Copies of this chain bind each other. A is one copy, B any other.
Amino acid sequence: MSTAERSAKPAEKRSRYDVESLLAVAVEVFGERGYDGTSMDDLARAAGITKSSFYHHVKGKEELLGRSLDRALGGLFAALETAESDDGPAVKRLEGLLRGSVQVLVREFPHVRLLLRVRGNTETERAALARRREFDHRVTALVAAAEAEGDLRSAADPGLTARLLFGLINSLTEWYRPGGGLGERELADAVVDLALSGLRVRPT
Tally of this chain's copies:
2
Q: Which of chain A's residues 155-204 have a Cβ closer than 8 Å to chain B?
A: 155-156, 160-161, 163-165, 167-168, 170-172, 174-175, 182, 189-191, 193-203
A150, CB-defined interface residue at 8 Å: yes
A151 partner residues in chain B, CB cutoff 8 A: 200-201
A201 partner residues in chain B, CB cutoff 8 A: 150-153
A29, CB-defined interface residue at 8 Å: no
A198's nearest neighbour on chain B, judged by CB, is: B198
A199's nearest neighbour on chain B, judged by CB, is: B152
A128, CB-defined interface residue at 8 Å: no
Determine how close the nearest CB of chain B comes to the CB of A92; give it in whole angstroms. 11
A47 partner residues in chain B, CB cutoff 8 A: none
Contact B198 A195 (CB under 8 A): yes
Dominant SS among interface residues on chain A: helix
* Cα separation A182 to B174 with both chains bound (whole Å): 25
* Cα separation A34 to B198 with both chains bound (whole Å): 36
A161 partner residues in chain B, CB cutoff 8 A: 190, 194, 199
B-contact 0/1 string along A99-114, CB 8 Å cutoff = 0000000000000000
11 A-B contacts, Cβ less than 8 Å apart? A150-B201, A153-B193, A153-B197, A153-B201, A156-B190, A156-B193, A164-B171, A167-B172, A194-B194, A194-B195, A202-B202
